Amino acid sequence: MNAKKYKGIHWFFILWLLYNNAIYADINKHQKEEIDFLISYVKNSTCLFNRNGIDYKGSEAITHIKRKYDYFKDEIKTTEDFIALTATKSEISGRNYTVKCKNSEIQMLGKWLLKALNTFRGKAHLHNKHN
């Protein structure tokens, strides 16, 4: 490969890396931790998640949420955006996603995740207060 062609590929790669890092730069470390917590919370849950009339285990539901996360990454600026865009309703049918946990009523998934997020933030706040 000649040096000129190599240099062009080299610059293309550098620009590609800068562009991709800029896309994800809108989500800070703290928000990434919160989103990772919510993903783990759904994935490891024993609750049933309903999307368009079909129940899914947490490990199945999280696959769809992650797909939507990848799709909406450019629009997600906050953890609340993550919830609203990936775990609230179907973009196709408009139907709300729900969650049913043992010994509890059916809840809107978005509200359920906001409650979990607030609990997580409260624990993080207490942890930071003691450090």
Give 88-108 pLDDT, tens digit per residue: 999 999 999 999 999 999 999
pLDDT tens digits along 26-67: 678 999 999 999 999 999 999 999 999 999 999 999 999 999
Is residue 66 domain-resident?
A: yes
- Sign, Cα dihedral of 19, 24, 28, 33: negative
Q: Is 38 exposed, middle or buried (0-12, 13-18, 19+ CB in 10 A)?
A: buried
Residue 123: band (very low, low, confident or very high) from pLDDT cuts 50, 70, 90 = confident
- What predicted TM-score, i.e. pTM, was given to this entire model? 0.75
CB neighbours (10 Å) of residue 87?
A: 26
Is residue 91 domain-resident?
A: yes
Is residue 19 domain-resident?
A: no
Q: Which has more pLDDT, 21 or 117?
A: 117
| Percent helix / strand / coil, the chain, rounded to 5 | 65, 10, 25
The residue range of the domain holding 68 is: 27-130
Is residue 31 domain-resident?
A: yes
Is residue 17 domain-resident?
A: no
Is residue 20 domain-resident?
A: no
Residue 41 and residue 34: Cα distance in Å, rounded? Answer: 10
Q: Which has more pLDDT, 35 or 10?
A: 35
- Over pLDDT 70: what percentage of the chain? 75
Contact yes or no for 99/112 (Cβ under 8 A)? yes
**What is the total count of domains within the chain?**
1
- Quick one: pLDDT at residue 23? 46
Is residue 3 domain-resident?
A: no
